[in-house]
Amino acid sequence: MAARIAWVGALGLLLVGAAAAVLWGLGLFPLTAADPDRAERMKKPDEGPPSHAEVATFGGGCFWCTEAVFQQLKGVHSAVPGYTGGDTKNPTYAEICTGTTGHAEVVRVTFDPEVISYAELLEVFWKTHDPTTLNQQGADHGTQYRSVIFYHSRQQKTLAQEYKKELDAKGAFDRPIVTEISPASEFYPAEKYHHDYFARNPRAGYCQVVIVPKLKKFEEAFADKLKPAAKR
């Protein structure tokens, strides 16, 4: 059953891309041109992270989306897609898609706490996905797409728990938050073709239909937290 549910999510991804291609061919879905400012923000820095850098790990559905969000934030040195939270050693994407390994698709964020705080990262995390749907984000179904925070310190755990409780108390969402908050475990970077996926494939069907609309909302809501735009 878990494998069948997981592959429904993968099939949905393919159908979205195929539908976008058909609509584009009919002239009913114009492709959004690559945004030079967004591309500039997603570039990897030439220098390494500062010595006081910290790490945060978030799962908010497909890691292509999550990576494209966190890459653009001031103070974020890197956002690496990968798998964590499961039992299988060195899992592959194919194994993850069965929904039986226990792993979640996540992004491991290396950030400068003097530029952007963990609390600010939490705000971005909760406002850029639906934390009320259990094991699902849109058409993506399966435990690998669960909403989850893997904390790396007692302070991160406390901040995440308190923030979640506050959002529920305020009724920030129509339904209770189901985000899992668990200790960080071994992290396995995803296969290379997943890294910088949106940055390399901005005109792909899934990117156009799913990721671009999400990024536009994110960029508008967090304009003050974005890295500098491209120089002209």
Active site residues: 62
Pick the closest to residue 75 from 109, 108, 106, 46 (CA basis): 109
Rounded distance between C-alpha atoms, residue 232 and residue 214, angstroms: 26
For residue 137, the cross-strand partners are 140
Residue with tokens 């570039």: 43
Helix (H) or strand (E) holding 90: none
| Alpha helix (H) residue ranges in the chain | 2-25, 36-41, 63-70, 93-96, 118-127, 154-170, 197-200, 205-206, 212-221
